[in-house]
Amino acid sequence: MITLRAYQAALVEEVREAYRARARSVIMQLATGGGKTATASALIARAVEAGRRVIFASHLDALIDDTSERLAAAGIEHGIVQADRPTNATAPVQVCSLATLHRRGERPPADLVIVDECHRAMADSVRGVLESYPKARILGLTATPERGDGAPLGDVFERMVCGPSVAELTTRGHLVPAIVLSPPAPIEGALACDPVDAYERHVAGQACMIFCRDAEHARDVAGRLGQRAALILGDTPRDARRAVRARLAAGEALVLVGCGVFVEGWDSPKVRAIILARTLGVVGGFLQACGRGLRTAPGKTHATIVDLSGAALLHGLPQDERVWSLEGPPRRTGAALEPLARCRACLAVFHAGPLTCPRCGGSTKDARQPRRATRVERQELARLDTRPQAERDALALRGIEKRLHKSGRFPAHRIAAIARSIFERSKKRAAPRAEAAS
């Protein structure tokens, strides 16, 4: 028996309703820590009860193991399709490694194909698997339905149903609040400080994850942390990863160091701090990394996100409300559009408004940050007008002249010179803003 929270049960019904409305491919979005695997397991159980065959496919060992354990606990017979794992080809459910399916060309029969972390569904290996099941229903699972290149997912999926936001899950007690520390401005190609120094200064002694830029960087950081560190890379054996999880679950204050391997699918609720020691140019990657620290655990009141590249200043805070779309990247909405402020005393980032820092109580005078265009906004501005700059300048100048004429406040023979002066001043004011947004 799989027990679901109320919002998870509601998501199950929304997915089923989408299929009843003749959608063949559906994305189920649920924030990191919201319980996607548990919700998907309930959908699998429903499908098996109806006599259907199911594939659950993932690129992550951790999620293959987690899903297998949940299905076993619910008494659902299943096999595993992955290198060096025992198989049960006659079972109604197959929990599959996407890499193994792609490499072997195996295609177990299925009426429902579930793809975890489906924002990767544009990869050739994933699309090749999906295209092999033209009559099956497709279900994509993700916390962040956004491709790394910003292209839409709507050419693979027809519908999307969304669960509660990070803010809602936090209010309900299913996630802990995030405290974000950040540099005063986004940094390209560098970090605000060394990640080992950041650990010692801000989160020393806490179970922590450090996201490095590559394997070489991760090895260097782990080496300098010494016995406190557990290095997790793509080639780290499955048993070694399980052992690290067990040590964390037992309460050991380990510092996990890696690059991309635990951005997705690593579930360690005891982690209390996240150090972002790499550039995260896409909001989905930023939210996935932050989400590793937001799961609840006994005695855990919050998670500390130490953002060494200033990603939060571009993407917003983890708890900001966002509208997800099959047509492109997400948009922040509501209070999330309010400017950010940064405490000069403790480096915390929060939405402007309070007179004192919500973290340390210091004054927020001069704490407000300049508004920075997101990547989505920059792309839209670039698409908005592709005419040569000289042509756009001339059009803008004529518009100023028309407004001056209409006002009736200036002699006709002076309007051109006044318009030119206004135009030149506006360009000078816009130059620093454009530079900051780039």
Query: CATH number, domain at 136?
Result: 3.40.50.300
Do residue 315 and residue 250 come from a single domain? yes
Average pLDDT, the chain: 87
User: Does pLDDT of 365 surpass 90?
Assistant: no
- Is there a domain that residue 342 lies in? no
Q: Residue 437 — pLDDT band, cuts 50, 70, 90?
A: very low
Do residue 178 and residue 155 come from a single domain? no
Do residue 143 and residue 208 come from a single domain? no
- Is there a domain that residue 331 lies in? no
**213-240: per-residue pLDDT in tens?**
999 999 999 999 999 999 998 788 878 8
- Residue 126: what pLDDT? 84
Do residue 144 and residue 222 come from a single domain? no
- Residue 124: what pLDDT? 77
Number of domains present in the structure of the chain: 3
- Residue 422: what pLDDT? 84
Mean pLDDT computed over 18-44: 93
Do residue 150 and residue 27 come from a single domain? yes
Do residue 194 and residue 304 come from a single domain? yes
- Is there a domain that residue 279 lies in? yes
- Is there a domain that residue 199 lies in? yes
From the list 58, 18, 20, 24, the residue with the least C-alpha distance to 41 is 58
- Is there a domain that residue 343 lies in? no
DSSP 122: T
- Residue 381: what pLDDT? 46
Q: Which of 282, 297, 320 is the last residue of a domain?
A: 320
- Is there a domain that residue 357 lies in? no
Q: Residue 436 — pLDDT band, cuts 50, 70, 90?
A: very low
User: Does pLDDT of 263 surpass 90?
Assistant: no
User: Does pLDDT of 15 surpass 90?
Assistant: yes
User: Does pLDDT of 294 surpass 90?
Assistant: yes
From the list 117, 121, 159, the residue with the least C-alpha distance to 288 is 117
From the list 178, 234, 185, the residue with the least C-alpha distance to 203 is 178
User: What domain range is 306 assigned to?
Assistant: 168-320
Q: Residue 376 — pLDDT band, cuts 50, 70, 90?
A: low
User: Does pLDDT of 418 surpass 90?
Assistant: no
Q: Tell me the C-alpha distance between 273 and 280, whole Å.
A: 17
Copy the structure tokens of residue 332: 């922040």
Copy the structure tokens of residue 370: 């300049």
Do residue 105 and residue 58 come from a single domain? yes
Q: Tell me the C-alpha distance between 84 and 104, whole Å.
A: 13
Q: Tell me the C-alpha distance between 19 and 138, whole Å.
A: 10
- Residue 328: what pLDDT? 78
Q: Which of 277, 301, 320 is the last residue of a domain?
A: 320
- Is there a domain that residue 341 lies in? no
Do residue 269 and residue 182 come from a single domain? yes
Mean pLDDT computed over 352-378: 80
Do residue 247 and residue 155 come from a single domain? no
Do residue 115 and residue 210 come from a single domain? no
- Is there a domain that residue 236 lies in? yes
Do residue 29 and residue 95 come from a single domain? yes
Q: Which of 164, 181, 197 is the last residue of a domain?
A: 164
Do residue 52 and residue 107 come from a single domain? yes
From the list 375, 323, 23, the residue with the least C-alpha distance to 165 is 323
- Residue 53: what pLDDT? 96
